[in-house]
């Protein structure tokens, strides 16, 4: 068969697979989303007499910017108050390019989006490791900074009259408000779909994990800071795109339009509509529109401008949503609908055994760690052999968990060396160690918020994926889908090992404490490790849970893993350990074999 013909056949197969996959994953929520999209597209024809098309188009661009912010708030759990600044950056960058070049309007908007993404990357880098409150304050300051810069630099902002933007055709159409509206609806729809695709993919699962429990995510090698910068950049890109097109609708880049109030309104829209739902931010923008109408009515009654009431009403609504449990409109509606008509559960389980990693020896030589004047670990050496369980015991403060952290890369040692087979790990990050085959679980019964059991465990597979990037997830390439199937198989195998395969579609929050502990073991197993570090897995376990844990540890050993078990429960240690190291004041004071203590 000739090359073009072969390519056509491959394309046909890929398309059929895509359709089948779409059919399989189509839900009632997707049907509702489609209906909303159609209704939105027809809105100007239905509401023409009530709401002006240019007002609708402005609102639709606002919805696009809010959906972009949903990526940051909903996926990464980062309350950014800089989206208005990103919209403004896109608007002014596009306005300057439009004024000084003859480039097509779409390209100018794209340049605006890229400029905003640049600012978003810088902002994300600055706040990558901050907690939510500091992120909110930092990004709020960025919004002020842009507003002040626009006020102080007339050459940039055009002064009080703004930068007047020349109008050009949009995708071959005259740039009427109707064309802008339909374009904004299409872009918002695409952005919402992208949000859904990213949320289901490795990028979204990693972000969700990092947002819910940073420590547990770090233990699974989730590169939180890089993901956060990526979420900021993507969010800013969408905001900049909205600004780049909206400025062409407004025909002026207005320095007064992109102040901190816009950032606040966008965040209100996302939180009120629901950051967890793809269409939540758009619904939030509709609510804001209704608030504007209410503010106008109140203003009419009070004899002042309605704009004086609008921020007040928005703040009240936000407070109401937050104080009533933060259950926003769209997620609440979806939850109610699901109670009435539950979504069908997955019937088939993916088949196929994952390829096992080569089992290797972990060697640690003369590890030392001091915290100020306290020596936590003092010259500890150990070897973790494949198909062996090594227990680390000792009184509280003896340095057990610190040894575990040094091995996992959560803290760097002051002295010493760590190798896994031929890999030098001493300077490797936690994420790199997970990729090489060294994984750890936490002492706490951490879990990742609303994710299902399957999604939890899938977070573990992301470290070993080669085709799971955000862009591939967006376009759902054949390689991405194939790797997805493999990841699911690997994850089901891990869930079966810990006895949770039957609970795959349940929310993790419904599991017991011991169940969550086993779930995190499954997530760690899904990374396909050769060395497994467990930090007190029996803490708080009931007798029946201990039995199950014992069986799991034996299964790990049987599968050829090298296991390091930090444990207080000596009966468990006796039951499973091949070698036991006793620590005291950071030193190994005793080594025993075959469970003798």
Partner 1 sequence: MRASAATLAALALVAAGCGHSSASKQRTILIAVDAPFSRSPYIGNTIANGGRLASDQLTLRGITTGGATYRVRILQLDNALSPSRAVANVRRALREHATAILTDGTGVDAAWRLADKQHVPVCIAYQGGSKLVNPENRPNVFRIAPTDHGLAFRLAEYLVPKRLKIALLTDDSDYGQAGRDALDDAFRTVPKAVAARITLPASASDLAPQVLEARRSGATALLVWARPAVLGKTIAATRSAGWHVPVYSTPAAEDPVVRQQLADHPSWVDGLTFASGRMTAELGPAPWSTFEASYETAFGATSVGVKSHGRRVIAPPDYAMYSYDFVNLLAAAVQSASGTDPAKVLSALNQVTTRGANGDERGFNERNHEGVVDDDVYFARFRDMVFRPVGDDPLSSTLPEISQVR
d(CA 551, CA 521) in angstroms, rounded, equals 13
Q: Exactly one of 52, 132, 312, 589 binds partner 1 (CB under 8 A); which one?
A: 52
Contacts of 112 (CB under 8 A, 6+ apart): 89, 90, 91, 92, 93, 94, 95, 97, 240, 241, 243, 244, 247
Task: Establish if 540 lies at the interface with partner 1 (CB under 8 A).
Answer: no
Q: H or E stretch including 423?
A: strand 423-424
Hey, how many other C-beta atoms are within 10 angstroms of the C-beta on 171? 12
Q: Which stretch binds partner 1 (CB under 8 A): 192-200, 304-312, 454-462, 471-479?
A: 304-312
Q: Does 307 bind partner 1 (CB under 8 A)?
A: yes
Q: Is 597 in the site for partner 1 (CB under 8 A)?
A: no
The per-type count for the chain, helices as H runs and strands as E runs, is 23, 12
Position 293 contacts partner 1 (CB under 8 A): no
Does 265 bind partner 1 (CB under 8 A)? Our answer is no
* Cβ closest to partner 1, residue 223 vs residue 243: 243
Question: What residues between 179 and 238 interact with partner 1 by CB under 8 A?
Answer: none
Per the structure block, which two tokens stand in for 121? 């990357």
Q: Which of 10, 308, 338, 346 binds partner 1 (CB under 8 A)?
A: 308
**How many whole angstroms separate alpha carbon 535 and alpha carbon 386?**
18
Q: How many CA atoms lie within 13 A of 252 on its CB side?
A: 10
DSSP state, residue 510? G
Give CA 183 to chain center in angstroms. 27
Choose between 28 and 54: whose C-beta lies nearer to partner 1. Answer: 54
488: contact with partner 1 by CB under 8 A: no
Which tokens in the block code for residue 77?
């759990």
Judged by CB under 8 A, the residue of 25, 101, 174, 256 near partner 1 is 256
**Residue 81 Cβ vs partner 1, minimum distance, rounded to whole Å:** 21
| Distance in Å from the first CA to the final CA of the chain | 69
DSSP state of 52: -
Q: Select from 34, 159, 513, 540 the one that contacts partner 1 (CB under 8 A).
A: 159
Does 38 contact partner 1 by CB under 8 A? no
For partner 1, the closer CB: 54 or 584:
54
The position carrying tokens 């003798």 is: 596
34 lies in the binding site for partner 1 (CB under 8 A): no
Quick check: 174 binds partner 1 (CB under 8 A)?
no
Residue among 8, 20, 132, 304 that touches partner 1 (CB under 8 A)? 304
Stretch that binds partner 1, among 136-144, 231-239, 248-256, 433-441 (CB under 8 A): 248-256
Give whichever of 296 and 359 is closer to partner 1, judged by the CB atom: 296
Per CB under 8 A, does 44 bind partner 1?
Answer: no
Site stretch for partner 1 (CB under 8 A), options 35-43, 54-62, 345-353, 571-579: 54-62
Between CA 24 and CA 289, with CA 70 as vertex, the angle to 5 degrees is 110
The verdict on 305 binding partner 1 (CB under 8 A) reads yes
In order, the DSSP letters of 350-408 are P--PPPPPPP--EEEEEEEEEETTEEEEEEEEEEE-TTEEEEEE-STTSSHHHHHHHHH
Minimum distance from CB of 64 to partner 1 (Å)?
17
Q: Are 254 and 243 in contact (CB under 8 A)?
A: no
Strand 362-371 with 415-420, pairing: antiparallel
Closest separation in Å from C-beta 175 to partner 1: 12
Using CB under 8 A as the binding rule, whether residue 502 contacts partner 1 is answered as no
**363, 419 contact by CB (below 8 A):** yes
Could you say whether residue 160 binds partner 1 (CB under 8 A)? Answer: yes
| Residue number, 88 or 468, with CB nearest to partner 1 | 88
257 is an interface residue for partner 1 by CB under 8 A: yes
Q: How far is the CB of 94 from partner 1 (least distance, A)?
A: 14
Q: How many residues bind partner 1 (CB under 8 A)?
A: 24
Cβ-contact 527, 434 below 8 angstroms: yes
Question: What gap in Å lies between CA 487 and CA 571, rounded to an integer?
Answer: 35
The interface with partner 1 within residues 135-154 (CB under 8 A) comprises 152, 154
Instruction: Pick between residue 249 and residue 521 the one whose CB is nearest to partner 1.
Output: 249
For 150-210, give the DSSP string: HHH-HHHH-GGG-EE-----BTTB---HHHHHHHHHHHHHHHHHHHHHHHHSHHHHHHHHH
CB of 66 to partner 1, least distance (A): 18
Confirm or reject binding of residue 55 to partner 1 (CB under 8 A).
Answer: yes
To partner 1, the closest distance from the beta carbon of 256 in angstroms equals: 4
* Binding status of residue 252 toward partner 1 by CB under 8 A: yes
The span of 201-209, 216-224, 244-252, 510-518 binding partner 1 (CB under 8 A) equals 244-252
The residue behind tokens 């859904």 is 196
Pick the stretch among 180-188, 300-308, 371-379, 466-474 that binds partner 1 (CB under 8 A).
300-308
Residue burial 237-267, b: 16+ Cβ < 10 Å; e: rest? bbbbbbbbbbbbbbebbbbebbbbbbbbbbb
Residue 250 in the binding site for partner 1 (CB under 8 A):
yes
Residue 320 contacts partner 1 per CB under 8 A: no
Residue from 164, 290, 471, 542 in contact with partner 1 (CB under 8 A): 164
Residues at the contact surface with partner 1, assessed by CB under 8 A = 52, 54-55, 58, 152, 154, 158-162, 164-165, 177, 250-252, 254, 256-257, 304-305, 307-308
């Amino acid at each position: 068969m000739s090359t073009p013909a072969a390519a056509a056949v491959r394309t046909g197969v890929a398309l059929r697979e895509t359709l089948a996959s779409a059919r399989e994953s189509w839900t009632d929520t997707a049907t509702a989303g489609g209906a909303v999209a159609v209704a939105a597209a027809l809105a100007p024809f239905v509401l023409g007499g009530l709401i002006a098309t240019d007002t609708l188009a402005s609102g639709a661009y606002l919805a696009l910017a809010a959906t972009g912010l949903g990526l940051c708030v909903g996926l990464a759990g980062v309350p950014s108050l800089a989206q208005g600044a990103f919209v403004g950056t896109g608007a002014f960058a596009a306005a300057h390019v439009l004024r000084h070049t003859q480039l097509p309007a779409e390209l100018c908007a794209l340049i605006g989006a890229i400029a905003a993404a640049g600012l978003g990357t810088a902002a994300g880098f600055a706040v990558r490791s901050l907690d939510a409150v500091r992120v909110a304050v930092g990004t709020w300051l960025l919004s002020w900074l842009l507003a002040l810069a626009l006020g102080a630099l007339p050459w940039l902002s055009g002064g009080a009259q703004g930068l007047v933007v020349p109008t050009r055709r949009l995708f071959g159409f005259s740039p009427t408000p109707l064309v802008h509206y339909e374009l904004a609806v299409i872009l918002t729809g695409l952005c919402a779909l992208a949000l859904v695709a990213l949320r289901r993919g490795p990028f979204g699962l990693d972000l969700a994990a990092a947002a819910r429990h940073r420590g547990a995510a770090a233990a699974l090698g989730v590169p939180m800071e890089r993901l956060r910068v990526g979420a900021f950049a993507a969010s800013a890109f969408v905001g900049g795109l909205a600004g780049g097109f909206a400025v062409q609708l407004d025909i002026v880049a207005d320095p007064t339009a992109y102040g901190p109030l816009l950032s606040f309104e966008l965040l209100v829209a996302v939180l009120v509509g629901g950051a967890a739902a793809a269409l939540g931010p758009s619904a939030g923008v509709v609510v804001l529109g209704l608030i504007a109408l209410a503010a106008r009515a109140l203003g009419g009654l009070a004899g002042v401008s309605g704009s004086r009431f609008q921020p007040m009403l928005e703040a009240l609504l936000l407070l109401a949503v937050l104080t009533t449990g933060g259950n926003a409109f769209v997620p609440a509606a979806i939850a109610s609908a699901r109670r009435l008509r539950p979504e069908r559960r997955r019937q088939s389980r993916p088949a196929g055994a994952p390829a096992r990693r080569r089992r290797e020896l972990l060697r640690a030589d003369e590890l030392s760690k001091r915290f100020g004047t306290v020596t936590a670990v003092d010259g500890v050496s150990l070897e973790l052999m494949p198909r062996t369980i090594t227990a680390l015991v000792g009184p509280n403060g003896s340095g057990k968990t610190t040894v575990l952290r040094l091995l996992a890369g959560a803290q760097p040692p002051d002295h010493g060396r760590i190798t896994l087979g031929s890999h030098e790990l001493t300077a490797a990050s936690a994420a790199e160690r997970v990729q090489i085959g060294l994984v750890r679980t936490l002492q706490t019964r951490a879990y990742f918020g609303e994710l299902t059991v399957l999604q939890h465990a899938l977070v573990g597979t992301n470290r070993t994926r080669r085709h799971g990037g955000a862009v591939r997830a967006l376009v759902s390439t054949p390689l991405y889908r194939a790797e997805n199937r493999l990841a699911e198989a690997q994850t089901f195998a891990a869930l079966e090992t810990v006895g949770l395969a039957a609970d795959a579609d349940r929310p993790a929050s419904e599991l017991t404490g011991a169940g969550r502990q086993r779930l995190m073991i499954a997530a760690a197993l899904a990374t396909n490790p050769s060395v497994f570090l467990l930090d007190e897995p029996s803490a708080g376990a009931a007798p029946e849970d201990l039995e199950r844990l014992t069986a799991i540890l034996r299964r790990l050993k049987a599968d050829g893993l090298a296991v390091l078990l930090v444990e207080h429960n000596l009966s468990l240690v006796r039951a499973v350990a091949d070698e036991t190291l006793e620590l005291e004041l950071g030193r190994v004071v005793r080594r025993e074999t075959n469970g003798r203590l």
